[in-house]
Amino acid sequence: MRKLTIAEAKLIGLAGYLAAHGYYPDPKKSNSRELWYFSPLPGRNEKEASFKVDLKLNLWIDFGIRKGGSIIDFGILYHGCTIPEFLEKLEMFLSFHRNSSPALQQTTAKMQLAGRSTSTSFSSERKKIQVVSVTPIISPALVYYLGQRKIPVELAQVYCREVRYKVSGRLYYAIGFPNDIGGYELRNPYFKGSCSPKGTSFIDNGAQRIAVFEGFFNFLSFLIFCQNRDLPPTNFLVLNSLSFFEKSRPLMEKHETIDLYLDGDAAGMKYTGQVLDNARYKDKSGLYQDHKDMNQWLIENFLQVQREVQALVRARKLAEGTQNQQVTRGRGRHI
């Protein structure tokens, strides 16, 4: 397949690319010619928008660090990658946004500026997600995305679906993880959101122990880690948002043991710390210490996890073989 060239990449609208990543212009400072943003670049934390996109030239400049350029220059700074790596990311981006021409992306940004560019209006846009179809995961792009997150597609097929949905008439698709009230958490490399109604996902195995996760990728990562390990019978709760933590405590506290695998950021640590005075709650974040969450830990330690799983499989087969030999010898002596 022909690779995306630098010249073609520079035709992709910056405003649309930023919007796809959840960044919207400040309506107080922007106009029909230029859009101003709070800088999306890593390490930038500002109180006044200083990142400008020139819609006519399709160029950007961050006045806070005095750098700018094309979408290529932005991408290598934003993702911390090389030009060839960013071109690969752009190819993936385009595969998820086939219907978005550069002109349409810029028009969309102008519409956002006209009255839908604040975080509140972004939430209202999310509510307009219309699910078109729910199928097994078959898209090569989504299978590739799962591979990047180190989740085998065979495991994802058990708990997730491929969800095709429309936003403002445009078709997108994502990995969908169902909640208990009919909604889905939606993930692809360029979108993290949900379709209403939003709720938690409880997997009831009839156990007295429960493992609690913020997001479904952490839940799936835990299942990979536990392959061929002697895990006690366990129920699973995926919150899908920390805002459901307090509401979920009555369900959690029906169990004798509550294992918390919350994110290692300030919010996750805060909620974990609030309940540790109850002896039934156990902080399990030490498993992925120094990592943001369970999935990030899995990504960085995947080869080690694979080796451990293979060693456990070999040990189990050896134990089963030894046991079978002992049974056979015992039968022989009996005869």
pLDDT digits (tens, 9 = 90+) for 230-277: 788 999 999 999 999 999 999 999 999 999 999 988 899 999 999 999
What does the pLDDT average to over 306-319? 67
Residue 127 confidence class, pLDDT cut points 50, 70, 90 = very low
Residue 120 confidence class, pLDDT cut points 50, 70, 90 = very low
Same domain assignment for residues 13 and 109: yes
What does the pLDDT average to over 210-236? 91
Same domain assignment for residues 12 and 84: yes
Concatenate the DSSP letters of all residues of 172-209 into one string. EEEEEEE-TTS-EEEEETTEEEEESSP--EEE--S-SE
What's residue 135's pLDDT? 94
The CA–CA distances, whole Å, from 233 to 15, 105, 200 equal: 49, 49, 20
Residue 170 confidence class, pLDDT cut points 50, 70, 90 = confident
Q: Full-prediction pTM beyond 0.95?
A: no
Same domain assignment for residues 295 and 207: yes
User: In the listed set 117, 142, 166, which residue is the last one of a domain according to the structure?
Assistant: 117
Same domain assignment for residues 10 and 113: yes
pLDDT over 70 at 300, yes or no: yes
Same domain assignment for residues 112 and 32: yes
Same domain assignment for residues 213 and 161: no
| Largest Cα–Cα separation, the chain | 94
Residues linked to residue 193 through DSSP beta bridges, in sequence order: 186
| Any domain includes 1 | no
CATH of the domain at 232: 3.40.1360.10
268 SS3 class: helix
| Any domain includes 226 | yes
- How many whole angstroms separate alpha carbon 191 and alpha carbon 174? 8
| Any domain includes 327 | no
Tokens of 218: 């952490």
Residue 99 confidence class, pLDDT cut points 50, 70, 90 = very low
More confident residue, 13 or 306: 13
What's residue 156's pLDDT? 94
CB 41 within 8 A of CB 62: yes
| Any domain includes 274 | yes
pLDDT over 50 at 335, yes or no: no
| Any domain includes 107 | yes
CB 252 within 8 A of CB 239: no
If one counts the domains in the chain, the total is 3
pLDDT over 80 at 96, yes or no: no
| Any domain includes 334 | no
Same domain assignment for residues 93 and 191: no
- How many whole angstroms separate alpha carbon 160 and alpha carbon 283? 27
Same domain assignment for residues 20 and 96: yes
What's residue 125's pLDDT? 42
Residues linked to residue 212 through DSSP beta bridges, in sequence order: 237, 260
Same domain assignment for residues 16 and 55: yes
User: In the listed set 117, 140, 163, which residue is the last one of a domain according to the structure?
Assistant: 117
Q: Which domain holds residue 212?
A: 201-303
Same domain assignment for residues 191 and 206: no
Q: Which residues contact 22 (CB under 8 A, 6 or more apart)?
A: 122, 192
| Any domain includes 295 | yes
| Any domain includes 335 | no
Same domain assignment for residues 10 and 104: yes
Residue 175 confidence class, pLDDT cut points 50, 70, 90 = very high
pLDDT over 80 at 8, yes or no: yes
Query: Helix-strand-coil percent breakdown of the chain, rounded to 5?
Result: 45, 20, 35
Tokens of 189: 């490399």
What's residue 106's pLDDT? 43
CATH of the domain at 42: 3.90.580.10
Classify residue 138 by burial, with Cβ atoms within 10 Å: 0-12, 13-18, 19+: exposed
pLDDT over 80 at 92, yes or no: no
Same domain assignment for residues 214 and 258: yes
What's residue 325's pLDDT? 56
